[in-house]
Structures are given as structure tokens and as C-alpha cells.
Amino acid sequence: MTDASPLVSIRKLTLDAMTERGPAHILRGIDLEIGRGRILGVVGESGSGKSTLASALLRLLPSNVSRLDGEIRFDGTDLLALPANEMQAWRGVRIAMIFQDPMTALNPLFTVGTHMVDVLRRRFPELSRREALARSEAMLVKVGIADPHLRLKAYPHQLSGGMRQRVMIAMALSVEPDLLLADEPTTALDATVEAQIVALFDRLRQDFSGSIVFISHHLGLVAELCDDLCVMYGGAIVETGPVAEVLRAPRHPYTRALLDCEIEDGDEGRLATIPGEVPNPLSELTQCIFASRCAHTADICLERHPSLAAVGQGRQAACIRSAEVLP
């Protein structure tokens, strides 16, 4: 029987970081589930808290965190309550991560082979070096790298940006993680290479049984690759649901505005800027977080920020007027 419970269940995740001007509210009570074997796309304007959410899942938090509340249940275990050494053992093993710039994760002094063998033997200590090398080579083939034997001997700077990202993907998947976090993994690449990497993700997902969180500015890309979508705004989630349905008929005015701008801009599905300012992270939530930019703001929206509420099968939106303005 397949397990229908979510792999990750985040409840009321709240994160403040202290700044000279007071606490910045970076995550404002996040409720989110990541389904088993699903790809969850996380979109939102710059500063909406996407990367902080990914860091919280790895419990790699900035040093100036002044408040951290809520729960991140991973297969039943609350990651926020896990002793530091156990969390360390999970990182890069049960939860792997791919960054926008692969050089942040690759040591320039070590070859690709050294990186890959180290990661593999940490995960599978029973592997000999020779076995780990063979497995690494096979993994490089899977991610479309030609001459893998030679590439294992290369240093990171000897590879192109696209190839380095393929190496990162190979490393991340070689440990067979339950969850792969990909934070804008194609943003630093040119459009052609970006398309190749997205096609690679799409192909690899057939073999990969874990879940993926794919953070992106690119709605078109998320639509192509992901099963589910989570739209973030000002440190809060404003809408979640199956990606095709959310994009076909959004139930939150912010998602609607993003889609409308995108159509106007015709910019290949990149997140367009909608008029008005993003919320100030220093301000307290005393009204709907989107009220100042929303075309449908009414008095009731100024009373409080609404929680996510069901708006259909598997769908949620944080808009008190959703049924009225986006039926």
C-alpha cells in the first residue's frame, strides 16, 4: 500500500531575524505540505522568503534569528527539535540541496571525483572507493555528461556552468535523498542551458522516487516541471494547490496579478513585477498582507490577515474574498 501521508508537513513556521531597525518577519506562519514523490514549485517575488524556507528545511539558519516557532515534520520527525548532530547527519543525505551557483557547494581544490566519492561514502559507508567511483561515473552518464571518466578528474573551474550544475544534480541524486531542495538551479545559466537542465530534471524524475522542492522566479518553468505550486508573498503563503489548476484558475488575487502581468509582459513566463511595493518585513501583520496592492481590497481585508483556507480539492488560498472575486 502506498503511503498517502505527506513527506513533510510544516505548521505555523515563523522566523524573525534581528536587524538594526528591529525584527524582520521573514516567515510569517507557514503551513505547507510536501507530498511523497511530488515536485513542489515555490514561486514569489524577490524577498518573499523562498530561500529562507529552504534553509529552514535544512535548519541552516542565519545567525541573527531572534524567533523560530512552529514545526517541520519530516516523515514524522520534527526537524526543529532534532539534536544538532542528528540534523547534521540528515543534511546532504536525507535532504539534499542544489543551489543557484554550484560553486558555492564545490570546493575549487577538489576534483569532481573527490566530491562525488566523499558524498557517496558518507551516505553508503560500505562502498569501497573503487565502487563509489564507478557509481559516480554512472551517475554522470545519467545526467548527460560525456566522457565521465575524464570529468571525474576535472576541477570545478574546468567545467562550464551548465556542466557544474549537472555535477551538482548527479551528486544530490546519488545519495538517494528523500527530499531534494533546488533553489533557482537554472537562474545563473543562459536560456539554452536552462532548458536543457529543466529537461534533465523532467527525465530524472522518472527514476527518482523522492520529493523535490523547486524554487523559481519562472512561472512557465514551474508549470512545465512541477506537480504542485506554492505562491509566497511577504513571508506568507497566499495560495497552494496542483500547479495546473492554480494556474488555470487562481483563487488568490496575487496569483491572478502575477499571471496577468506575465501575459502583458509576454516575457516567457518570468515573474513580472506587479505595481506597488512588496511588504516591509519589519511591519507587523495587522491586515491582509496583499491589501495595499490588491484590486479587490474591502474593509474586511483591513481587519486581519486571513489564514489559508480550502478553496477546492487539494487547494488553499489566503483570501477572505476569494469566492466572491475569483469564483
Q: Which residues bind ligand ATP (CB under 6 A)?
A: 17, 19, 24, 26, 44, 46-52, 62, 64, 281
Provide the minimum distance between the beta carbon of 49 and ligand ATP in the complex, in angstroms, as a whole number.
4
What is the grid cell recorded at 59? 535548519
For Cα atoms 314, 95, 34, give the angle at the middle one, nearest 5 degrees: 5
Provide the minimum distance between the beta carbon of 39 and ligand ATP in the complex, in angstroms, as a whole number.
18
Provide the minimum distance between the beta carbon of 231 and ligand ATP in the complex, in angstroms, as a whole number.
11
Contact assessment for residue 262 and residue 231, using Cβ atoms and an 8 Å cutoff: no
Give the nearer residue to ligand ATP in terms of CB position, either 55 or 136: 55
Provide the minimum distance between the beta carbon of 46 and ligand ATP in the complex, in angstroms, as a whole number.
3
Which are the contacts of 278, defined by CB distance < 8 A and separation ≥ 6? 45, 46, 47, 48, 233, 234
Give the nearer residue to ligand ATP in terms of CB position, either 173 or 225: 225
Q: Give the SS3 label for residue 111.
A: coil
Give the nearer residue to ligand ATP in terms of CB position, either 112 or 231: 231
Give the nearer residue to ligand ATP in terms of CB position, either 43 or 145: 43
Give the nearer residue to ligand ATP in terms of CB position, either 137 or 184: 184
Provide the minimum distance between the beta carbon of 238 and ligand ATP in the complex, in angstroms, as a whole number.
13
Give the nearer residue to ligand ATP in terms of CB position, either 137 or 183: 183
Q: Which residues pair with 181 in a beta bridge?
A: 97, 213
Give the nearer residue to ligand ATP in terms of CB position, either 65 or 309: 65
Provide the minimum distance between the beta carbon of 80 and ligand ATP in the complex, in angstroms, as a whole number.
17
E strands, the chain, where? 8-19, 22-34, 39-43, 65-74, 77-78, 95-98, 179-183, 211-216, 228-233, 236-242, 309-310, 316-317
Tracing cell 513542489 back to the chain, one arrives at 40
Provide the minimum distance between the beta carbon of 187 and ligand ATP in the complex, in angstroms, as a whole number.
9
Phi, psi of 193 (to 5 degrees): -65, -40
Quote helix, strand, coil % in the chain, to nearest 5.
35, 25, 40
H or E element, residue 223: helix 219-225
